[in-house]
Amino acid sequence: MSAVISKKLSASTPVSRNRHTAMPDVDRLLIFLAACLMLFGLLMVTSASLHLGDRIGSPFYYTWKHLFSMLLGLAAGWLVFNTPTNLWQRYSVHLYVLGVVLLLMILIPGVGRTVNGATRWIPLGIFNLQASEFMKLFVVLYVAGYLVRRHVEVCHTVMGFINPILVLGIAGGLIIMQPDFGTMTVLIVATVGMLFLGGTPLLQFTAMIGGVGSILVLLVVSSPYRMARVTSYLDPWADVNGSGYQLAQALIAFGRGEWSGVGLGNGIQKQFYLPEAHTDFIMAVIGEEFGLLGTVFVVLTISLFVWRAFNIGTNAMNLGRRFAAYVAYGLAIWIGFQSFVNTGVNVGLLPTKGITLPFISFGGNSTIVSCIVLFMLLRIDYENRQLDKGEQEGKAWRVA
């Protein structure tokens, strides 16, 4: 069945063959939602970073860097869109190995770049590669391929769902050494979610959740730095000038914004008090300048994006395209959970964690990967529509 589907899709792979529309037949709502988030993100990055750029002589320094990352992301995304999903599946293991190699390179003295005590980047001239961001993509592709290859084992044996967790542990261990606890958590949640949707029995899934949760708790307890972050969010006002400083300033920003905000560019917290306002805490800037209405707009738009991603995955599953379906599910879980964590950190619902808001926060690698996620979903949707159209035409031909 999968071979027949691959042949059908290979025949319709070149996007330029679609002569009936000015653009490929894809989910236009998904494009609209992503465009809204990216343009709004560019606006908010500009607002949150003008004072930072002014200190180095160019107020729009971060704006231009963010725009450059968006263009790189769109170019990379277009290449991904023009790559059939069967090639993603064929090279999913290779990409995972590539990701592990990049993570190892970061830990080599003299190769990895350290910023604020974290070694997460490989300098590439005008661009610093953050391997952990791309590892999210590689893990989703790897787990999707594993679920197709080992579907029976996943559904009926304990090792079927333990094996990918062990493989993930290699990447997770390298990421936690950077350290990057937030990214590792996103990887674990995306993997566990995909395994559950892939058919893992409820009892085994519950046991796995307990085991993974215990590991995360152990990692927190074993590190005074992470422990301080967890305890400070419970009462940031207890140490408002120390461990609770960021969260306290973020909450003040939301309080100042009230319902409709103080107006674009009029926020005070980003200028004098709130660190990393253009990256991890950009939602607080949105809350201050656009109020509750602005934050609700962002949350609803991201929620609709995630819903469309799940819908694309469901359509792929109904067409028998299990790998593409699992990829769409994994991307949806990843974007949804990471957005939830970023927003939860900003409003004090979760411990402070350095993690970006997809499509909106400043961050070259995060922006590029978000664009690739968009185009991956569009490619899956495009192939869904081509296959569905072919089946409809086949039925019409048989009736005639």
Give the model's pLDDT for residue 169.
86
Is 127 within the bounds of a domain? yes
Rounded to whole angstroms, the Cα distance separating 373 from 367 reads 10
User: Within this chain, do residues 217 and 227 fall inside the same structural domain, yes or no?
Assistant: no
User: Within this chain, do residues 86 and 103 fall inside the same structural domain, yes or no?
Assistant: no
Give the model's pLDDT for residue 154.
79
Name the residue range of residue 353's domain. 27-90+223-389
Is 20 within the bounds of a domain? no
DSSP-assigned beta bridge partners for residue 122: 129
Rounded to whole angstroms, the Cα distance separating 36 from 33 reads 5
At 25, list the tokens. 């037949």
CB-based contacts of 373: which residues, under 8 Å, 6+ apart? 137, 331, 334, 335, 358
What type of residue is 21? T
User: Within this chain, do residues 230 and 374 fall inside the same structural domain, yes or no?
Assistant: yes
Q: Give yes or no for a contact between 43 and 338, defined as CB atoms under 8 angstroms apart.
A: no
Q: Give yes or no for a contact between 380 and 314, defined as CB atoms under 8 angstroms apart.
A: no
DSSP secondary structure letter of residue 361: S
Q: Coil, strand, or helix at residue 19?
A: coil
> What is the mean pLDDT of each successive set of 10 residues along the chain, which is 400 residues long?
50 50 78 96 93 86 93 95 94 94 88 75 82 92 93 79 84 84 87 86 74 72 67 70 81 91 88 84 94 96 97 94 96 96 89 86 92 97 86 61
Helix (H), strand (E) at residue 272? helix 269-272
Is 3 within the bounds of a domain? no
Rounded to whole angstroms, the Cα distance separating 181 from 228 reads 14
Rounded to whole angstroms, the Cα distance separating 132 from 187 reads 10
User: Within this chain, do residues 262 and 201 fall inside the same structural domain, yes or no?
Assistant: no
Give the model's pLDDT for residue 26.
86
Q: What pTM, to 2 d.p., does this model score?
A: 0.88
Q: Coil, strand, or helix at residue 300?
A: helix
DSSP-assigned beta bridge partners for residue 129: 122
Which of these three, 221, 252, 284, is where a domain ends?
221
User: Within this chain, do residues 78 and 133 fall inside the same structural domain, yes or no?
Assistant: no
Rounded to whole angstroms, the Cα distance separating 295 from 193 reads 26
Sheet of 127-130, strand order: 113-115, 118-124, 127-130
Is 369 within the bounds of a domain? yes
Is 22 within the bounds of a domain? no
User: Within this chain, do residues 248 and 358 fall inside the same structural domain, yes or no?
Assistant: yes
Rounded to whole angstroms, the Cα distance separating 256 from 372 reads 35
Is 285 within the bounds of a domain? yes
Which of these three, 221, 237, 258, is where a domain ends?
221
Is 37 within the bounds of a domain? yes
Give the model's pLDDT for residue 394.
63
User: Within this chain, do residues 233 and 303 fall inside the same structural domain, yes or no?
Assistant: yes
DSSP secondary structure letter of residue 14: -
User: Within this chain, do residues 377 and 308 fall inside the same structural domain, yes or no?
Assistant: yes
Rounded to whole angstroms, the Cα distance separating 212 from 227 reads 18
Give the model's pLDDT for residue 293.
95
Count of structural domains within the chain: 2
Is 287 within the bounds of a domain? yes
Give the model's pLDDT for residue 228.
66
User: Within this chain, do residues 213 and 71 fall inside the same structural domain, yes or no?
Assistant: no
DSSP-assigned beta bridge partners for residue 114: 119
User: Within this chain, do residues 318 and 197 fall inside the same structural domain, yes or no?
Assistant: no
> How many CB atoms are located within 10 Å of the residue 129 CB?
19
User: Within this chain, do residues 315 and 271 fall inside the same structural domain, yes or no?
Assistant: yes
Which of these three, 221, 252, 275, is where a domain ends?
221
User: Within this chain, do residues 263 and 385 fall inside the same structural domain, yes or no?
Assistant: yes
